[in-house]
Chains A and B, each alone.
Chain A
Amino acid sequence: MTVTDKTLGERLREHGISRRGFMKFCAATASMMALPPSMIPAIAAALEKARRPSVIWLSFQECTGCTESLTRSHSPTVEDLILSVISLDYHHTLQAAAGEAAEAAREQAMQENHGEYLLIVDGSLPGPDSNPGYSTIAGVSNYAMLMEAVEGAAAVVAVGTCAAFGGLPEASPNPTGAVSVMDLVKDKPVINVSGCPPVPMVITGVLAHYLTFGRLPELDQYHRPLAFFGQSIHDRCYRRPFYDKGLFAETFDDEGAKAGWCLYRLGCKGPSTYNACATMRWNSGTSWPIESGHPCLGCSEPRFWDAGSFYAPLSVPTDASGETLLAAGAVGAAIGGAVATLARRKVKTEAASRQPVTVEELEQKL
């Protein structure tokens, strides 16, 4: 039996994952994907038997934070193993091969699994109309590499906000003409796992769903899996009762902040952000940004870099300022003053040049 012929179950056991640990993962996956508990054995059976699908991972304009998030757990977790064991015929950050050998591995995987491999992309890429030199791999532009790899892919998973929505490279003024995967790939299913970085469990959840059911999960209007992005941070936030009571931290070190009150006034974007941080948390369920006392930045939403200050409350306009108000008010005052002054002057000159008519004169005219 060659390495690729082993099932996922066999590979997990080889890595010392117990049956119990595996079933726990399946149960967690079922509950995260909002599937009934009766589906757990089905998930377990499907994952147990799953042969690794070929996965090609392309990294473009990115910071490797997404890969870090997905791989760097303190101890090897089932999620981490599923991710690394499952596949990865090409991932230029993680693979041992380099240079031509690496590119050859990618081309070989693409040929052998044509039409069947999953393509995972992290990072945005310079669009077809911009200078391809802003980001290349082995002398090939990101755009050309993506389009070539998409050709034979069964589906494309855009991991991280850069790949999903353009992210930081696409932020104003977008010097490299960066675009998202969704902007370019129209004829293949695209699933966006946004976040900066995304929650690790979300990507393994999507992969587990794909392995179990052979199709991608239900998506929202931004092509994100509804099971993870269906609810807002605000609706699932453990600090929500403080918002509802009107108890807010107003600075990062006041009594409210120490008491763990709502961070809305410190700029929390939880109300407009859809992600799973509040329920799944980070670092093996240790904590998450709001629990550590920092407002949500809204990193899983499109254009979150251009949505105003991270520390300005959601209700604060992004461009308007007191100066706008003053300037417009001053112009208006000048116009109003001028119009009224002209009117007054007109009345005055009319009064000065007025020619009184006596009753006698009027009678003469008649």
Chain B
Amino acid sequence: MIDPVDFLLLVKGPLFVWALAIFALGLSVRILEIFVLGRRRNFAEPRAGEWLPGLRTMLTRSVADPGTFQRAPFNVIVGWIWHIGFLIALLLFIPHIELIKSLLGIYWPGLPNPIVDLVTAVTLVALVASLVHRLTHPVKKRISTFEDYLVWALTFLLVLTGYLAYHRIVNPYPLALGLHILTAEIFMILLPFTKLTHIFTALIARWYNGASFGRRGVQS
């Protein structure tokens, strides 16, 4: 078995550099490709501006319309809960802020650990609920692909290993922390090449939609 300290130094050192490089390279390939390809040129005279409707749609498309909510309340509520929980744990947990600060030089205030802990526990429960729903709902079950399960497993493991490391349930601690960082690295490496890219492209897509509505004079 690999020595826990060696393992931690490996995932904190060279593996993190590789994961970060693949993530940054892959993601900027994808984003640049989207922007440079752009949209088909529209020769019609625009009826209204693009920017404001684009920005508005970034917001409105993030909140489910009443019809969607009535048809699939579970998807909307549970989806919202774990997405927000994931973002809070990712961006407001102090060790994560320190990591971002060391890489980008920017930082912001974090939340006290017990709050992040509670949010993480709720996120884990919501993620399990979403998997059960996916496996039992006849339509969702049919349209789910291997990638859907892969992305779910990665997200769940990432949150779970973080929770275990914080609570020091797996011993020794360097092994627990190393497993969490390793999961984060696999997440980062696969992010640009799976539907996880939506973390960065969802809002861009919503803007394009809204901009297109605005140009055509449709309500955004």
- In the complex, the answer to whether B37 meets A343 with C-beta atoms within 8 Å is yes
| A327 surroundings in chain B (CB, below 8 A) | 21
Q: Which residues of B are found within 8 Å of A264, using beta-carbon distances?
A: 94-95
Residue A314 interfacial (CB < 8 Å): yes
- Least CB distance from A350 to B in Å reads 14
Let me know if B177 and A337 touch, CB within 8 A: no
Contact check, B104 vs A325: say whether CB atoms are below 8 A apart. yes
Determine the residue in chain B with the shortest Cβ distance to A330. Answer: B28
Cβ of A328: which chain B residues have Cβ within 8 Å of it? Answer: 20-25, 28
Decide yes or no whether B31 CB sits under 8 A from chain A: yes
Q: Give chain B residues whose Cβ lies under 8 Å from the Cβ of A343.
A: 37
Taking a contact as CB atoms under 8 Å apart, the answer to whether A306 and B37 are in contact is no
A191-227 contact mask (Cβ, 8 Å, vs B): 1 or 0: 0000000000000000000000000000001000000
Residues of chain B in range 1-44 having any CB-CB distance to chain A below 8 Å: 3-6, 8-9, 12-14, 16-17, 20-33, 35-37
With A and B bound together, what is the CA distance between A307 and B3 in angstroms? 14
- Which residues of A are found within 8 Å of B17, using beta-carbon distances? 317, 319-320, 324
Number of A-B contacts (CB under 8 A): 148
Are A318 and B9 in contact, with the CB atoms below 8 A?
Answer: yes
Task: Give every chain B residue within 8 A of A314 (Cβ-Cβ).
Answer: 95, 177
Q: Is the CB of A303 within 8 A of B13?
A: no
Q: Cβ of B110: which chain A residues have Cβ within 8 Å of it?
A: 246
* Chain B residues near A324 (CB-CB < 8 A): 17, 20-21, 24
Interface size on B, residues (CB 8 A): 48
Q: How large is the interface on A (under 10, 10 to 19, 20 to 34, 35 or more residues)?
A: 35 or more
**Distance between A180 CB and nearest chain B CB, rounded to angstroms:** 12
Contact A317 B31 (CB under 8 A): no
Contact residues in A for B31 (Cβ distance below 8 Å): 336
**A322 close to B (CB within 8 Å):** yes
In the bound complex, do residue B5 and residue A320 qualify as a contact, i.e. CB atoms below 8 Å apart?
no
Is B113 an interface position by the 8 A CB rule? Answer: yes
A302 to B14, CA, bound (A): 18
Given A325-B24, A340-B33; A315-B113 close (CB under 8 Å): no
Nearest A-chain residue to B111, judged by Cβ: A246
Residues A339 and B94 in contact in the complex (CB < 8 Å), given A246-B111, A306-B9: no
Q: Which of A232-267 contact B (CB under 8 A)?
A: 232, 234-235, 243-248, 264-265
